[in-house]
Amino acid sequence: MQQAARWGHHRHGSSEERAIRDHCNLPQGFVPGRVVSLQLGVGRDTRNARFNATAGDRTSLTGEIAVSALGSDFDFTKYSLDYQHLFPVGEDSVIVGRIFGGVANVASCPTSAPKPAACLPLQDRFILGGPSTVRGLPAGFKSDTSILLANLEYRFPMSALIPSFRDVTTILFVDAGNAPASFTDPPEVAYGLGIAINTPLGPIRIDLAWRGLDGTRQTWLSLGAPF
């Protein structure tokens, strides 16, 4: 009986530990449920190269609809527009401007939530912060049902300063954005510099970014361009 009592207590403790562990492993803002949706996207790309492009533009428009009639626990529609244009500067240098905006409309919510963003699954919210949005903010700094951001980069070959560095590109950039999208609230702003090294798999890039308000720094390592 003593062994049974100890065994029962051990199992009870293990269940509590598993419950605590499972709870701690859930991402912040996680909403349980199933998403069944239809997605449609169109795009146009006139850039003169996939990597290290120096001219052209790229536009993509995407839409998504999730409805309970398809078996989804979430009902929402979501749209986003991503546009970037490359302005050649000299022979191999380029200024890249990008604008990204998106909005999601929630029809019903599987949980009682005070904010519409909590009625969207985590992976369908618009995220502000990270290597492809406002780089001075940590990944997932904000998430909401809408977003508006702009990025500006000046990319120039390091060989202009050091001739032997033919496969190295230097980048200066500034980012600004808000989530939720707003034309009245001051945006989050970041600035920084990066280095991209050309490889057979594509450019390997390191960005150092500082948040405009307090100067905190983020470091990002990526394969290819952030957008």
pLDDT of residue 24: 55
- Class of residue 31 by CB neighbours under 10 A (exposed 0-12, middle 13-18, buried 19+): buried
Distance CA(65)–CA(27), nearest Å, equals 24
pLDDT of residue 5: 31
Q: What is the CATH number of domain 29-223?
A: 2.40.160.50
DSSP reduced 3-state for 227:
coil
DSSP reduced 3-state for 218:
strand
For the chain, the domains span 29-223
pLDDT of residue 163: 87
First to last CA, the chain: 65
Distance CA(220)–CA(227), nearest Å, equals 13
pLDDT average per 10 residues of sequence, the chain (227 residues)? 33 40 59 88 95 94 93 92 96 95 87 71 92 96 95 93 90 97 93 95 95 93 89
DSSP string, 145-208: SEEEEEEEEEEEEGGGTSTT-TTEEEEEEEEEEESS--SSSPPEEEEEEEEEE--TT--EEEEE
pLDDT of residue 133: 97
* CB-based contact 80:132 (threshold 8 Å): no
Give the containing element (helix H, strand E) for 3.
helix 2-25
